Amino acid sequence: MKYFSVQLGIAFSLLLLITFNSNAQITYADSLSIQLEATVVSSPASITLTWPADGHASNFKIYRKLKTGATWTLLTTTTNTATQYIDATAIANVLYDYKIYMTPALGLGKFGYLSSGINVIANSNRGIAIVVIENSFISNTVFQTAINLLLTDLENDGWYPKAVYVNKTDAVTSVKSQIVLKYNEDVTNTKLLLLLGNVPVPYSGFNNPDGHTDHRGAWPTDAYYADINGAWTDATVNDVTSANSKNHNIPGDGKYDQDQIPSLVELQVGRIDLSNLPITTKTEEQLLLNYLNKLHRFKTKQIIVQERALIDEGDFTTMTEGFAQNGFINFSGLVGRTNIVVNDYFTQLSYNTSTSGTYLWSFGCGGGTYTGSNGIGTSSNFASDSLSSVFTMLFGSYYGDWDNQNAFLRMPLTQGNTLTNAWAGRPNWHFYHMAMGENIGYSEKLTQNNSSLYQTNSIYGFFPQVKSINLMGDPSLRNSYILAPTNLNIVAGGVTNSLSWTGVPLVDGYNIYRRYSTSTVFVKLNTSLVTATTYTDNTMPTGGTVYYYVKSVKKKISPSGSFDNESLGIKSSAALVTVSVTENNSDLSFAISPNPSNGIFNIVTTQAFYNYDICDNLGRIIFTGTSSQFDINSYANGVYYVKIKLKNEIVIKKIIKNN
């Protein structure tokens, strides 16, 4: 690995290597990073960015954009001694991205990034998740139970899962065609792709991202599955020079030509593949069951780790690219600067030894092989140790090519608490948004699609949108979870349904979501947090079977900002709730007149009513009123329903609007 930078002519001044310690940075990679944090104030609203002093600075440029924005706006240029900036124009409940660039007076310029917001309100309708399951073990009821729990946890977190079963011998084109079919069922809402088991591995490319000439060719490329409409070809690359025959790539062999993803990917994608790891002495099925068990335990807050991060640069301490900046830049916003520890990757205490020795994140790098990394460890270390960090990154030669026996990149998922891993260094990964409640798949997709919007340092030009950007683990994972309520009960009352549940201590309140059995969309019912442990839903707009989900909410103050952190939902456990939007009152003393009408209707009754909703034939509320006359002349002809709210009941009347 270390020879690659020399081959590409990127040799930096020894002066930089000698003097970076004068700025009190911990390591050389640290000296290439701006560790950005934020504190937020609600009233008057402001976001204060802070960063360490840097004696090499000429000035600092502060940029901002909306989270999903495509361009940066320069907010200010500070002095060379600045260590903070107050953004007094920030608005509560809006997510922003910040970028800071240090213009150097000496050495390299460098970047810092942060996602921030003030009291960002949760609304967890996350989208459709396609779950592709390799079917070797589905006949085992224990394994099928674990899969069902995985799908349930996805649903309770606001994802609507759609399962697809494939064979490990299927062609990747066959697997992708099933993914595309599911995607095309709802192109707007389908967001995530989880590959579970030994799902066939796509290969693509000609280059060697780790710089070794004996490792040139096609590498594993799950982006092929996530890119719905890109042009992937198998016609031009013809190379068999790699020492590993899996990397050989010739026209028509089923391996693709592209070194870069040919178009922006549509799906977040992650892989849980624990096949061909005999060094663990466990079967693939046992490893998958173990992973799914700890995945559920983390999402339900049965695994608790300290919000700290560990960095080990192995034998890459002076590499010009400063690979460990992947850790320093990301970890400052995720766990805070003072919670970043530089130590040996495999001397951290396991979770089974002490919760005080645990880490939420870790990063390790060093010259590598398929099964190890210099100064970090080997696959056998993972087979025998239970590391505590839930999210990790590793970088070194060869093992970014992870479809091999006892593959070092997949091994962390077999033991301890580790649930995700990524080959992070060429390019750098961008996990900033997880500090504000996003799932890791969002970061993976952003990294795959990024070319220049999120830079890192002056040598960033390496490998934008490269084939080797792959996430090992569940892409739906978030940085933190809280305990969910329990014992959800529903008393069905037609158009009015009463919910009650057992609460959770030390939370701010609860959010209530509703989903029709025929829909993939989760609708948040409450506009402000519910602080009681009961809720009445009297807004049912149409007939059908519905599910309710109640989630605990606790405001999370992270080193990046503040947001509503939600638990998984507790789903209605009562019989399915069915409501009707047909007329439910034939009392002649209560009428709508004239009916039919050209648009103007009168409520004729001697009874007192509070208000009413007008719903269309699909059950959508189009109008709410309180007076005895209403006008829907601007709406199309057809059947509508008036839901009139009395003191002790709701009367539903059908009306017909025509000209």
Q: Concatenated DSSP letters for 48-67?
A: EEE----TTEEEEEEEEEET
What pLDDT is attached to residue 16?
Answer: 37
Q: Are 417 and 303 in contact (CB under 8 A)?
A: yes
Q: Which residue in 165, 171, 236 sits closest to 201, CA to CA?
A: 171
Single pTM value for the model: 0.85
Contacts with 130 (C-beta within 8 Å, 6 or more apart), sequence order: 161, 162, 164, 179, 182, 183, 190, 192, 193, 194, 267
Instruction: Give 111's strand partners.
Output: 33, 101
pLDDT tens by residue, 139-169: 999 999 999 999 999 999 999 999 999 999 9
Number of H helices and number of E strands within the chain?
10, 38
What is the phi/psi pair of residue 20, to 5°? -65, -25
Q: Are 115 and 435 in contact (CB under 8 A)?
A: yes
Containing 311, the helix (H) or strand (E) segment is strand 309-312
What pLDDT is attached to residue 584?
Answer: 60
Containing 286, the helix (H) or strand (E) segment is helix 284-299
Distance (Å, whole) CA 89 – CA 33 = 26
What pLDDT is attached to residue 583?
Answer: 57
Instruction: Give 586's strand partners.
Output: none
Contacts with 192 (C-beta within 8 Å, 6 or more apart), sequence order: 126, 127, 128, 129, 130, 159, 267, 268, 269, 439, 441, 475, 476
327: helix, strand or coil:
helix
Q: Are 308 and 327 in contact (CB under 8 A)?
A: no
| Pairing state between β 544-557 and 570-571 | antiparallel
Low-confidence ranges of the chain (pLDDT < 50): 1-24, 458, 573-581
Distance (Å, whole) CA 317 – CA 107 = 17
Distance (Å, whole) CA 605 – CA 600 = 16
Residue type for position 382: F
Distance (Å, whole) CA 241 – CA 23 = 45
Q: Which residue in 300, 403, 411 sits closest to 345, CA to CA?
A: 411
What pLDDT is attached to residue 243?
Answer: 97
| Pairing state between β 268-272 and 190-196 | parallel
pLDDT tens by residue, 4-28: 332 333 333 333 333 443 344 578 8
Instruction: Give 489's strand partners.
Output: 500
195: helix, strand or coil:
strand
Structure-block tokens of residue 601: 């209707």
Residue 296: exposure state from Cβ atoms within 10 A (0-12, 13-18, ≥19): middle
What pLDDT is attached to residue 585?
Answer: 56
Residue 269's alpha-carbon distances to 194, 394, 442, 447, in angstroms, are 6, 18, 9, 11
CA atoms within 13 A on the CB side of 182: 27
- In the block, which residue shows the tokens 């039919």? 596
Residue 219's alpha-carbon distances to 81, 95, 193, 250, 483, in angstroms, are 45, 36, 20, 13, 40
- In the block, which residue shows the tokens 């997880």? 434
What pLDDT is attached to residue 7?
Answer: 32
Containing 643, the helix (H) or strand (E) segment is strand 638-645
The DSSP-derived string for 429-491 is ---GGGGGT-BHHHHHHHHHH-SSSS--BTTTTS-TTBTT--EEE-TT-BS---PPPEEEEEE
How many angstroms separate the first and last alpha carbons of the chain? 77
The DSSP-derived string for 70-95 is SS-EEEEEE-TT--EEEETT--TT--
492: helix, strand or coil:
strand
281 CB neighbour count, 10 Å cutoff: 9
Q: Which residue in 300, 98, 266, 104 sits closest to 189, CA to CA?
A: 266
CA angle 584, 588, 592 (to 5 degrees): 75
Cis peptide before 427 (omega within 30 of 0): yes
Residue 460's alpha-carbon distances to 91, 211, 216, 223, in angstroms, are 32, 16, 21, 21
The DSSP-derived string for 359-395 is -SEEEEE-SEETTEETTTEEHHHHHH-----SEEEEE
